[in-house]
Chains A and B, each alone.
Chain A
Amino acid sequence: MRGELAAARSPGAAADTMLPAAYLVTHRSAETADTATLRLAPAGAALPAFRPGQFTMLCRPGIGEVAISVSGDPSAGDGSLTQTIRDVGAVSGALYRARPGDLIGVRGPFGTSWDMDPARGDDLLIVGGGVGLAPLRPVLLGALARRADYRRVILIAGARGPAEFLFRGQLSDWAAMPGLAVELTIDRAAAGWDGTVGFVTEPLGRLTLDVARTSAFLCGPEIMMRLCARILMSRGIMADRIQVSLERNMKCGVGLCGHCQLGPLLLCRHGPVLSWAQAAPLLAVREL
């Protein structure tokens, strides 16, 4: 199983699995009204480099710890971590409000990564909804860094409204970039919006696809991923060429606490990135 291979590769020192490494916030940028991107630098030794799609466990001492996908450039190589956090609870709220100089505990990186190898030489299709764009950003940055490895690179991003896209400045740069097709679509009509209005499935359904040579990477609310995968499969893309990133209650991040189970999977270990062939039958079961 891909997850086990990935787990075997991640160098987790047994003695310190549960002990966070100290990082300091070096930069904070507000993305939306409830989401911010933090850049973190190690206060001591840096954690191992991450692969696109992996997550870390971020903690504010005394408050708690949550799983957050890494949203930075996988080729940064300076030991820093870039993570995008939405304020949805006590812990994520405290992380969202962190300011430069604040101490953040980090464990990881954990979990499986987006498998970009099958996309080599083919078309790369990225669909992100809401904060689901965050774990996909390393895929796009990775593809742009090795642009010649892929044919078309297509990004479809959905958000509730124009002000709720992550990485807005970068999205405009990407949209202007040759060799990258970007379509932004919003759910809620807004005056002055220059992009598409419609659910992400609509621009997705309108794409001209070379179905035998397209790899799709989906992240967003579970229903959104299900609807997008359904459309891609109806167009003829095989389930194992579609990857999704799932979310469950990850507490330890390393398969020891049992919280993030999804049927036979420990999502922190066998996920968060799964092929649609793996994920579809599990997501079809209510309350699994």
Chain B
Amino acid sequence: MTSAEQERSDLLAGFAPFARLSPAQRARVAAMARPVSYPEGTRLFDEGQDAKGCWLIQTGQVALQSEVPGRGSVTVHTLGPGDMLGWSWLVPPHHWHFTASAHTPVSAIAVDTAALRALADGDPALGYPLLLGILEAALARLQSTRWRLLDLYGSPHAR
């Protein structure tokens, strides 16, 4: 493993989806990952496209957006450092459900998800903790979405 790969492997440990992997397992994933950076405004993917790749955001923010007729491009969620962007590659129909664009300049670790899926399919001892980690991240996002649904700051008159 190159020192850059070692460094990426260590970085992966800070992201929930990979926190459960052993150092050796993480090193195998690190080999499929590369650092990327995007200027502000870059579209990382578009709604409806084939879902390939995921990004572990290190700095900057990525806006998940949806095109709403009459309202334009509406941000439904903002992701930032420590968040994983993109999990539609994991489940059919393997299409992106939202558009992701760099809200600020972004640096991230991009993972080759085709290779990652193949790795996980072939090695359930890696695939299972990986899936648990992704589930943990997905649940955290589901929960914060539910809290937003509570409309906690709304006026008591409107409740």
The answer to whether B76 touches A88, judged by C-beta atoms less than 8 angstroms apart, is no
Q: How many residues of B contact A (CB 8 A)?
A: 29
A201 cross-chain contacts in B, Cβ below 8 A: 144, 147
When each residue 143-177 of chain A gets 1 if its CB lies under 8 Å from chain B and 0 otherwise, what string results? Answer: 00000000000000011100010000000000000
| Residue A227 at the chain B interface, CB threshold 8 Å | yes
When each residue 116-159 of chain B gets 1 if its CB lies under 8 Å from chain A and 0 otherwise, what string results? Answer: 00000000000000000000000010001101101111111100
| Residue B61 at the chain A interface, CB threshold 8 Å | yes
The answer to whether A160 touches B78, judged by C-beta atoms less than 8 angstroms apart, is no
What's the nearest-Cβ distance from chain B to residue A34, in Å?
Answer: 6
When each residue 69-80 of chain B gets 1 if its CB lies under 8 Å from chain A and 0 otherwise, what string results? Answer: 001111111101
The answer to whether B153 touches A164, judged by C-beta atoms less than 8 angstroms apart, is yes
When each residue 268-284 of chain A gets 1 if its CB lies under 8 Å from chain B and 0 otherwise, what string results? Answer: 00000000000000000
| Residue A27 at the chain B interface, CB threshold 8 Å | no
The answer to whether A220 touches B153, judged by C-beta atoms less than 8 angstroms apart, is yes
The answer to whether B83 touches A129, judged by C-beta atoms less than 8 angstroms apart, is no
A220 cross-chain contacts in B, Cβ below 8 A: 152-153
Q: How many residues of A contact B (CB 8 A)?
A: 35
A188 cross-chain contacts in B, Cβ below 8 A: 148
| Residue A71 at the chain B interface, CB threshold 8 Å | no
The answer to whether B148 touches A187, judged by C-beta atoms less than 8 angstroms apart, is yes
Contact of A189 among B76, B83, B147, B156 (CB under 8 A): B76
Known contacts A191-B71, A191-B72, A227-B147: A185-B155 contact under CB 8 Å: no
Residues of B within 8 A of A (CB): 61, 63, 66, 68, 71-78, 80-83, 140, 144-145, 147-148, 150-157
Q: A129-B153, A187-B152 are in contact. List 17 more A-B contacts (CB 8 A).
A: A88-B155, A129-B152, A158-B153, A160-B153, A187-B148, A187-B153, A189-B76, A197-B63, A197-B77, A198-B148, A199-B145, A202-B144, A206-B81, A206-B82, A208-B81, A223-B150, A224-B152
Residues of A within 8 A of B (CB): 34, 86-88, 129-131, 158-160, 164, 185, 187-193, 195-199, 201-203, 205-206, 208, 220-221, 223-224, 227
